[in-house]
Structure 1
Amino acid sequence: MLAKGQTVIQLMEELAPKHYAQPNDSIGLQLGTLQKEIRKVLVALDVTHEVVDEAIREGAELIIAHHAIIFRPIAHLRTDTPAGSLYAKLIKHDIAVYIAHTNLDVAEGGVNDLLAEALGLTGLTHLEEVHTEKLKKLVVFVPKDHHGKVQQAVFGAGAGWIGKYSNCSFNIEGQGTFVPRDGADPFIGEAGKLEQVEEIRLETIVPETVEKRVVTAMLKAHPYEEVAYDLYPMDLKGRAFGLGRVGKLPDSCTLGELAERVKQAFGVSALRLVGDPEREIRKVAVLGGSGGRYIRHALFAGADVLITGDVDYHAAHDALAAGLAVIDPGHNVEKIMKPGVADFLNRRFQEKKWETVAVASSVDTEVFRFV
């Protein structure tokens, strides 16, 4: 059985919810339709003619990319322009394009976590916090003999986390009353008669990102035809999410040695270095994309070096003067998201027993060449 396009995107947004994105970021479905079955998903960093040709060869009906193909409103759609000819090729071959950009940068398991993991960084924190998860309190009344089933269903769907503790709940025994009326099909009791049932009031925490999933799981596990439950908004803050990562290397090394590690980990042949190659490095800040404006953030976090792309001349001087080393391996290192996203989607497809597959694009979209 193949997954529908909208279903594929629902899985993608489990990894990178759209509300994680920065304001005015160009994300989401940018071209085509999701109202079709998807046999193959091509995961790419950029959508170029070469990438589209690859999608055609692979038989992919959907491209999930990091960088947008549409940045601003289109005044006209001419197929004799570079962008217009790209759109025309996608439309002709019925290939949809979905973009996950800063929401994938922020996401746990997204671009910045993948970069940090490739370098072996530990004790990760955010370079800049941009989003705090909202929480709700779920209260549901369950007959005693079904309490365990409902409890495990909501935990399995993502409820019950407080910090690093899972399966958190509070449970109170009590007595529920109801009268089934005409047309009801009660699990317990008879129509027209007052029923008194030993029930448990189950309370637990639900992050907003999994609210629908938790409620659906709760309703499915609950035996009652009409389930009595409440969802209360809470002022208590949940997990924090942010751009970039700051962490420690397993062992300190020189800046020059770290530069070589970066080249190997991120698959680049050359990079730019700011600072003394013999300087000792232990704490590292990493940020996918263009991160020159995060020099102050890296300094505030106590990092010895900032690894990011597209650092300009004046920003590099500012970093050097402030005592922060910089390694610039280029913007294209975000290509690490290709196998990362493809692996995530394939795990979810297998869990759902769908025959849809995701593949990482093999096209090199790096535009700079060192000569």
Structure 2
Amino acid sequence: MLAKGQTVIQLMEKFAPKSLAVENDKIGLQLGTLNKEITKVLVALDVTPEIVDEAILLGANLIVAHHAIIFRPLANLRTDTPMGALYEKLIKHDIAVYISHTNLDVAEGGMNDWMASLVGIVDPKPLEELQSEQLYKLVVYVPKTHHQSVLDAILAAGAGAIGNYSHCSFNTEGTGTFLPGDRANPHQGSVGKLERVEEVRIETVLPENLRSKAVQAMLKAHPYEEVAYDLYAVEQKGKSYGLGRIGKLAEPKTLAELTEVVKKGFDVPAARVVGDPERLVKKAAVLGGSGSRYIHHAIRQGADVLITGDIDYHTAHDALMAGLAIIDPGHNSEKIMKREVADLLGRMLAENGSETTVHASEPNTEPFRFV
């Protein structure tokens, strides 16, 4: 069974939700339709004529790319221009193009986490926080006889996660009272008679996106006709989401040694380096794409080096004077996303029972040549 286009994108957005993208980023379906069965998906960094030819040869009718093919409003759609001809070829061969950009960068386990892992950063944190998860407190009162089953249902729905811990809850025994009305159908007690029941107050926390799931699980497991529970926002914040990553290296390295790690990990022939090659690097920051405006974020958080692309001349001087080393492997270093996304999306589709296959693009779309 082949997956529908909407199903493929739902799985993609489960990993990299649109809500994580920075404001005004050009993401989502940019060309074609998802209202069709998808035979093969091609994952690419850029959408160039070479990539479109690859998709045609492969028989792919959906390209999932990192960089947008429509970045500015179109004044016209002339097919005698290079970009117009590209759009025409995609349309004629019924190839849809979907973009996952800064949402893929920000996503937990996404672009910047892949970069951090390749560099050897341990326990990375966002370089620039964009948003944090709103946490809620769920409180419910349940008879002792059903305490464990209700608690298990709530925790199985994902509630109770705090940092590196799961299944967190607080349980207090007490006495609950209620008086069933004429139309009530009480689980225990009788209509018109005040009932006193040994109950347990369950307290736990959950992120905003799990509110409905946890409450529904709790209501399904609870024996009472009318469930007494509270759900309210708390000041404590959950996971932080943001651009870039920063953290200590598993093993300190000289700037020269780390540069070799970067070249090998990102599969680049060379990198521009700012700083003393013999300098010892203990704390590193990474950011996919263009990172010139993030040097001050890295400096404020105590990074010894920032690994990113598209550093300009004056920014390099600013970093050097501020004592921040830089390794610039180029914007195209983001090509690591091709294999990662292809493997991830392929697994999710297979687990979904789909015969749609996912392939990492082969052509190198680096526009620069090192001579």
TM-score by length of 2: 0.85
Partner SS for 2:295: helix
Q: Deviations over 1:88-121 (max 9, x none)?
A: 2222222222211111111111111001101221
Q: Deviations over 1:166-198 (max 9, x none)?
A: 1123456757887898xxxx9979xx999x999
What letter corresponds to residue 282 of structure 2 in structure 1?
A: R
Counterpart for residue 269 of structure 2: 269
Deviation at 1:135, TM superposition (A): 2.1
Deviation at 1:36, TM superposition (A): 2.5
Deviation at 1:151, TM superposition (A): 4.3
Q: Deviations over 1:217-253 (max 9, x none)?
A: 6677778999886643333321111211112222222
Distance 2:3 2:141 in 1: 35
Pairs within 5 Å for 1:124-203: 124-138=124-138, 148=148, 151-171=151-171, 174=176, 202-203=202-203
Q: Note if contact 1:32-1:97 (Cα within 8 Å) is conserved in structure 2.
A: yes
Counterpart for residue 63 of structure 2: 63
Q: Does 1:87 align with 2:99?
A: no
What letter corresponds to residue 232 of structure 1 in structure 2?
A: Y
Unpaired stretches in structure 1, ≥5 consecutive residues:
none
Counterpart for residue 236 of structure 1: 236
What letter corresponds to residue 81 of structure 1 in structure 2?
A: T
What letter corresponds to residue 232 of structure 2 in structure 1?
A: Y
Q: Note if contact 1:28-1:100 (Cα within 8 Å) is conserved in structure 2.
A: yes
Distance 2:219 2:87 in 1: 43
Partner SS for 2:345: helix
Counterpart for residue 30 of structure 1: 30
Distance 1:257 1:367 in 2: 26
Q: Note if contact 1:175-1:198 (Cα within 8 Å) is conserved in structure 2.
A: no
Distance 1:48 1:326 in 2: 29
Larger radius of gyration: 2
Counterpart for residue 256 of structure 2: 256
Counterpart for residue 13 of structure 1: 13
Q: Note if contact 1:187-1:223 (Cα within 8 Å) is conserved in structure 2.
A: no
Q: Does 1:347 align with 2:347?
A: yes
Distance 2:211 2:55 in 1: 35
What letter corresponds to residue 126 of structure 1 in structure 2?
A: P
Distance 2:57 2:179 in 1: 63
Deviation at 1:216, TM superposition (A): 6.2
CA, structure 1 residues 251+91, in 2 after alignment: closer, same or farther (shift >3 Å)?
same
Distance 2:79 2:71 in 1: 17
Distance 2:329 2:311 in 1: 10
Deviation at 1:25, TM superposition (A): 0.9
Partner SS for 2:165: coil
Pairs within 5 Å for 1:103-118: 103-118=103-118
Q: Does 1:41 align with 2:66?
A: no
Partner SS for 1:311: coil
Which moves more between the two structures, 271-280 or 347-356? 347-356
Deviation at 1:59, TM superposition (A): 2.5
CA, structure 1 residues 135+367, in 2 after alignment: closer, same or farther (shift >3 Å)?
same
Partner SS for 1:302: coil
Q: How many aligned positions are there?
A: 367
Counterpart for residue 337 of structure 2: 337
Which moves more between the two structures, 360-369 or 74-83? 74-83
CA, structure 1 residues 50+165, in 2 after alignment: closer, same or farther (shift >3 Å)?
same
Pairs within 5 Å for 1:198-237: 202-211=202-211, 213-214=213-214, 231-237=231-237
Which moves more between the two structures, 303-312 or 45-54? 45-54
Partner SS for 2:128: strand
Q: Note if contact 1:170-1:204 (Cα within 8 Å) is conserved in structure 2.
A: yes
Partner SS for 2:24: coil
Q: Note if contact 1:281-1:305 (Cα within 8 Å) is conserved in structure 2.
A: yes
CA, structure 1 residues 99+274, in 2 after alignment: closer, same or farther (shift >3 Å)?
same
Deviation at 1:76, TM superposition (A): 2.1
What letter corresponds to residue 283 of structure 2 in structure 1?
A: K
CA, structure 1 residues 52+140, in 2 after alignment: closer, same or farther (shift >3 Å)?
farther
Q: Note if contact 1:12-1:345 (Cα within 8 Å) is conserved in structure 2.
A: yes
Which moves more between the two structures, 119-128 or 326-335? 119-128
CA, structure 1 residues 258+39, in 2 after alignment: closer, same or farther (shift >3 Å)?
same
Counterpart for residue 122 of structure 2: 122
Distance 1:296 1:239 in 2: 23
Q: Does 1:296 align with 2:290?
A: no
Q: Does 1:319 align with 2:315?
A: no
Partner SS for 1:118: helix
Which moves more between the two structures, 306-315 or 6-15? 6-15
Counterpart for residue 305 of structure 1: 305
CA, structure 1 residues 348+52, in 2 after alignment: closer, same or farther (shift >3 Å)?
same
CA, structure 1 residues 87+179, in 2 after alignment: closer, same or farther (shift >3 Å)?
farther
Deviation at 1:157, TM superposition (A): 4.0
TM-score by length of 1: 0.85
What letter corresponds to residue 262 of structure 2 in structure 1?
A: V
